[in-house]
A and B are shown apart, each in its own frame.
Chain A
Amino acid sequence: MPNMTSDAPMIEARDIRKAFGANQVLRGVSLQLRQGEVVAVIGPSGSGKSTFLRCLNHLETIDSGHIAIEGETLVTTDAQGRCVYAPDAELRRICRKTGMVFQHFNLFGHLTVLENLIEAPMVVQGLSREAAIARAERLLAKVGLSDKQGNYPARLSGGQKQRVAIARALCMEPDIMLFDEPTSALDPELTGEVLRTMRELADERMTMLVVTHEMGFAREVANTVAFMDQGELVAARPAADFFADPGHERARAFLRHML
């Protein structure tokens, strides 16, 4: 297990429930992430893993449960069962501790690669243009795309887009990175470059929560593998143990199917 010196978990989610209409997509999901930990969330399509991830940074609102980021409460449920979110400004401040990478990149199409990176640091953090550019150039070098900084996203390959998206999220200097199926929209030959970038990030002890179908990544990079099915987190174990034996019948069936 990675360093456990800090007292509050980076993310604490307790008994998260969420329905879209009559469809109960999360049926009481709990998960903790410690500093520097990499957790891979795997499971069949429609198991609620992306929805769960999106609840953690308020892209989705939950029906009940408790979420705290670095000990600060994002949302909690009171004794009457009412779900209470932190006030708006507070909510935004807490969510800014997380960065997010989407399946479909969601780069800003009207901005160049460099502009995509410096936009939020300048607008949200009030960084000067020079300081933002310095930060962005360092990150573009890190993801190996220094030569693309003047390009518009439409000119990039899927793998390049996703590396820009990772750099853009890092440019806000988050403490936690959330990845929502970051390689699912990529051609198979392009997933490698994205996974390599993520692996480097993990090596730098970034706290990461990764919803993924990449079993290789889950096995080799994640500390913990969590398996979700039908809105429940049915198994969570250290990666090596999980792949030796997930300890749950549905997880075993899923692994047999995937490997």
Chain B
Amino acid sequence: MDYVLSLLGPLAQGAAVTLKLFAITLALAVPLGLVLALARVSRFAPLSAAVNGYIWLMRGTPLMLQMLFIYFALPFVPVIGVRLPDFPAAVAAFALNYAAYFAEIFRSGIQSVDRGQYEAAKVLGMGYGQTMRRIVLPQTVRSILPPMSNETITLVKDTSLIYVLALNDLLRAARGIVQRDFTTTPFIVAAAFYLIMTLILTWGFQRMEKRYAKYDQ
């Protein structure tokens, strides 16, 4: 038991890195995903097609590859080439990748809103922006919460990929101790950390689902 307690400190440090990556990714990917989704449903075909291509690229290649590309290869790309330190490189890859997934979730939400809602807003004199912001998007929240919950939980666990950039996240911290002490206990403790994080997320999403269910009863 004392041994388990002694692991909490170092693993908490790893968990802090994991949580930091998780929070920053979420904060960037949600708004970016929303912008992408709006562009995707836009009637301006070139824009919609460009976003479609972007989503294909981001979903069609491994996140780890994207991370390695941004860290190692991006500095040598002409014009947009920039050398990012390891953590910002990871954040950039995660945000760009998750934005693509979020965009598809938002798009499905937007497209599930009945045509009649747009027509009602239009005959009341509301413009496209007002209609989206005040009528359509609020009504997508309920239907996108379950898939968002899914994707967000996946994000918590995907953060463990940053070990390839030698960042000390929760899993890498556990692995370090496993190799030092020749016991697998740190893995169990790390699993408990992940489970607690996802439990909190699950609980939070369930609360939100309840809150947004109120107007359907």
Query: Which single member of A92, A104, A110, A120 contacts B116 (CB below 8 Å)?
Result: A104
Choose the segment among B15-23, B36-44, B120-128, B159-167 that binds chain A (4+ C-beta atoms closer than 8 Å): B120-128
Known: A123-B126, A154-B216. A106 touches B135 (CB 8 A): no
Q: Which A residue's beta carbon lies closest to that of B137?
A: A110
Q: How far, in Å, is B138 (CB) from chain A's closest CB?
A: 5
Q: How far, in Å, is A137 (CB) from chain B's closest CB?
A: 18
Please name all residues of chain A whose beta carbon is closer than 8 Å to the beta carbon of B214 when the two chains form the complex. Answer: 152
Determine whether the beta carbon of B120 is less than 8 Å from that of A106.
yes
Whether a CB of chain A sits under 8 angstroms from the CB of B48 is no
User: How many Å lie between the Cα of A59 and that of B121 in the bound state?
Assistant: 11
| CB contact list, B118-166 vs A, under 8 A | 119-127, 130, 134-135, 138-139
User: How many Å lie between the Cα of A155 and that of B217 in the bound state?
Assistant: 6
Determine whether the beta carbon of B127 is less than 8 Å from that of A106.
no
Count A interface residues, CB 8 Å. Answer: 30
A-side residues, CB < 8 A to B, are 57-59, 92, 95-96, 98-100, 102, 104-111, 119-120, 123-125, 152-155, 168-169, 172
What are 5 sample pairs from A and B whose C-beta atoms fall under 8 A apart? A105-B116, A108-B135, A110-B139, A120-B121, A169-B123
B-side residues, CB < 8 A to A, are 114, 116-117, 119-127, 130, 134-135, 138-139, 214-217
- Sample of 17 more A-B contacts, CB < 8 Å, known A92-B127, A169-B124: A106-B117, A107-B120, A108-B135, A108-B139, A109-B215, A110-B139, A119-B124, A119-B134, A123-B126, A123-B134, A124-B130, A154-B216, A155-B217, A168-B124, A169-B123, A172-B124, A172-B125
